[in-house]
Chains A and B, each alone.
Chain A
Amino acid sequence: MSQQSANNKMVIKLVAIVIGMFGFGFALVPLYDVFCDVTGINGKTEGTAAVYQSVEIDESREVTVEFITRTNSGMPWEFRAETKRVKVHPGELNTVSFYVRNPASSNIVAQAIPSVSPGMAALYLNKTECFCFNQQPLDAGSEAYMPMQFYVDPQLPEEITFFTLQYTLYDVTARASDLTTTPNPFMASTPSTGE
Chain B
Amino acid sequence: MSKATEVISPDTTAPHDEHAHHEHEHHDHIPKGITRWLFTTNHKDIGTLYLWFAFIMFLVGGAMAMVIRAELFQPGLQIVEPNFFNQMTTVHGLIMVFGAVMPAFTGLANWLIPMMIGAPDMALPRMNNWSFWILPGAFLILLSSLFMEGGGPAFGWTFYAPLSTTYSGDSTALFVFSVHIMGISSIMGAINVIVTIFNMRAPGMTWMKMPLFVWTWLITAFLLIAVMPVLAGAVTMVLTDKFFGTSFFDAAGGGDPVMFQHIFWFFGHPEVYIMILPAFGIISQIVPTFSRKQLFGYASMVYATASIALLSFVVWAHHMFTTGMPVYMEMFFMFATMLISVPTGVKVFNWVATMWRGSLSFEMPMMFAIAFIVLFTIGGLSGLMLAITPVDFQYHDTYFVVAHFHYVLVTGAVFSIMAAVYYWLPKWTGKMYDTTLAKWHFWCSLVSVNVLFFPMHFVGLAGMPRRIPDYALQFADFNKWISVGGFAFGLSQLIFLALLIKACKKQGEAVSAQVWDGAEGLEWEIPSPAPYHTFETPPVVK
Contact = CB atoms under 8 A, between A and B. Distances in A.
B516 interface: no
Interface stretch (B32-40, B88-96, B252-260): B252-260
What is the interface of chain B mostly: helix, strand, loop, or mixed?
Answer: helix
Contacts of B233: 22, 24-26, 28
B259 A32 contact: yes
Given A10-B198, A19-B229, A41 B326 contact: yes
Nearest to A41: B326
Interface residues of B, number: 37
Contacts of A41: 325-326, 329
B226 interface: yes
Contact of A7 (B124, B258, B329): B124
Interface residues of A, number: 33
A72 B252 contact: yes
Interface centre among A6, A25, A72, A168 (most CB of B within 10 A): A25
A160 interface: no
Contact of A113 (B199, B227, B230, B251): B251
B229 A11 contact: no
Given A7-B123, A7-B124, A10-B199, A32 B229 contact: no
B251 A11 contact: no
Contact of A14 (B191, B232, B258, B262): B191
A75 to B, nearest CB: 9
A11 B187 CA distance: 11
B141 interface: no
A163 B489 CA distance: 53
B227 A21 contact: yes
B266 interface: yes
Contacts of A14: 191, 194-195, 225
B248 interface: yes
A3 interface: yes
A113 B266 contact: no
A141 B210 CA distance: 75
A17 B225 contact: yes
Interface in A1-51: 3, 6-7, 10-11, 14-15, 17-22, 24-26, 28-29, 32, 41-42, 47
A25 B251 contact: no
A126 interface: no
B234 interface: yes
Q: Which of A26, A47, A119 has the most CB of B within 10 A?
A: A26
A32 B266 CA distance: 12
Interface string B182-200: 0000010001001100111
A120 B263 contact: no
A172 to B, nearest CB: 5
11 contacts: A6-B199, A10-B198, A11-B124, A17-B226, A18-B191, A20-B229, A21-B228, A25-B263, A29-B248, A170-B251, A170-B252
Which are the 3 A-B pairs with shortest beta-carbon distances?
Answer: A25-B233, A170-B252, A22-B229
